[in-house]
Each structure stands twice: as structure tokens, then as C-alpha cells.
Amino acid sequence: MDTHETNNEQAALWNGVSGRAWVDAQQALDRLFAPFEDLLVSAVTAASARTVLDVGCGTGSTTLAVARRLGGNGRSVGIDISAPMLALARARAEAEHLPAQFICADAERYAFEPALFDAFISRFGVMFFERPVDAFANLRRAAQPGATLHLIAWRSPADNPFMTTAERAAAPLLSDLPPRKADAPGQFAFANRDRVHTILQDSGWREIALDPIDVNCTMPRRDLEQYVTRLGPVGLVLQNADETTRARIVETVLSAFDAYMHGEEVRFTAACWMIGGRA
């Protein structure tokens, strides 16, 4: 489907270096985040949903998982602003002969058909809206009466030390490492429970619940360098670093993960919110 108006800053990021990095790391990231995919598919199944929208679907793993579960008895649609990520999502759907659909657009502004979906899911895809109340109000208009919301988002940086290890280790070596801003679009934008509750309430959702979940995650040791040098704030800065600087930073950053190494595996706990609501 055609691309519609998007948040320019986020669109540039996810259609540029960040989007390409996620495409390159798709298999590793899908393995890493498989427990969250399972939680969302289970939530859709428990809600007996038949028309599901995956918000910020990226390379399509959760959209495709829902399509597999629904079979020919429903509709699974993903929306994202990243054209390169959606190109991969469509190719994956075609390879599996799955009837998943994908929209390249900003869910904050896209003109959805009214009262279309009976469930909305997201695996780390809703924290990047420029105006989150407007975004969730727009999704609410696309919801059937009684439609359910099932979102997974990160809790605070303090609750997720693994996620900030790279930037803390690299900070003394990188003067241009951008600081994280509380409540700004980004990984931890939904860290504040009260703020998220207010966003959903003000946008018309009811029966709102934020339940903390702690999920054990693992990745092969061989995937760690790609993870820390292509993704997140450090990954962005390293795209423009000279080879000498890059080598020094990579060595420093990788050694900072020693506490998470267990043989050939990297293990950590992901502290997240399981966010629910009803239209």
C-alpha cells in the first residue's frame, strides 16, 4: 500500500540507517524477541480476534505469527513507516504464502477505515509517536466496539540495564552520543506508567491496564557485536566513526557485557509493560 504522511524525523530514521540495521538483523532480533511474539499471539487468541492490526510491525514477525494463527479465518495487517522493513515483511509473507497485509504509513495520521479491527497489538512499536494521544485516538477510530489493545513496551532504563550498557560504556569515548530524553519518542517513551495511562485514557480507550512483566531473553554470543554496533544510540554514532575510533569503542563496549555472558549465550531480563485496553 502507498506511503502516507509521516513524522519526518522518525521517517528519516526508520527509512535510513536504523531501518536498514533492523532489516540486516531481522533473524537475530526475531529470535531474541520470540517470547514477546508468543505473548501477543496468545493475547489475540484469548480475545478471539479476527481482524488484527500490528502497530509498528517492522519486518513483520508478529504480523506473520498472527496470520499463521488465524489461518483463513481472519485478517492480519501490519503498519509501519519504514519502507525497507516492510519490503522484507512482504517478502516473508509471500515466501510463506501467508495472507498478511502491510501498510507503509504513520499510524498517527493514516486514514483507517472506521470500526475495522477487533484487536490491536504491538511489540515495541508504539513508543515512537510524535503525538501519542492523537495516534491512539486515530487507532481508536479504527476499532470495532469492544476491540482490545495488547501492547508491549519497555519500562524504565533503570529497570533495563542491559539495554543501556553499550551507551554507558561508550559515553567516555563518544562526545556526540545523544542523551536520552524522558518521554521523547524512543525506546523508553512509555516508561512512566501514569503517563501511558493518561495517553490511553485521553485518546478514548477504557479498561486500561499496565502489568509489569520480566521476560528472560537470550541471544547467541556471535550476534552481540552486530546488536551493539548497528542498533541503538551507539549504533547510530558508529555509522560515521573512523576505523580507529570504531575499533576502540567496539572493544570497550563488548567487554562491558561480560556480566551477561554465559558460555556461548548472552542472557538478560527484559523489564516491560504488558499494556491492555478496550475500545
Cell of 192: 512512566
Q: Which domains can be identified in the chain, with CATH numbers?
A: 8-157+180-218+271-278 (3.40.50.150)
pLDDT of residue 7: 55
Residue 25: the pLDDT is 92
pLDDT greater than 90 at residue 260: yes
Calpha distance 214→233 (Å, rounded): 23
- Residue 247 has a CB neighbour count (10 Å cut-off) of 11
pLDDT tens, position by position, 268-278: 999 999 999 99
Q: By C-alpha distance, which of 89, 44, 90 is closest to 71?
A: 44
Asked whether the predicted pLDDT for residue 1 surpasses 70, the reply is: no
Q: What does each C-alpha distance from 86 to 62, 83, 187, 189 come to in angstroms?
A: 13, 5, 20, 23
pLDDT higher than threshold 80 for residue 40 = yes
- State the pLDDT at residue 242: 84
Distance from the Cα of residue 75 to its chain's centroid:
21
The pLDDT tens digits of the residues spanning 53-110 come to: 999 999 999 999 999 999 989 999 999 999 999 999 999 999 999 999 999 999 999 9
Identity of the residue numbered 52: V
Is residue 239 scored above 90 in pLDDT?
Answer: no
The predicted-structure confidence for 176-230, as pLDDT tens digits, reads as follows 777 788 888 999 999 999 999 999 999 999 999 999 999 999 999 999 999 988 8
**Measuring CA to CA, which residue among 69, 61, 64 is closest to residue 43?**
69
Amino acid making up residue 28: A
User: What pLDDT, on a 0 to 100 scale, did the predictor assign at position 5?
Assistant: 41
Q: SS3 of 235, please?
A: helix
pLDDT in tens, 116-167: 999 999 999 999 999 999 999 999 999 999 999 999 999 999 999 999 999 9
C-alpha cell at 242: 573512523
Instruction: Kindly state the average pLDDT of the residues 8-37.
Output: 91
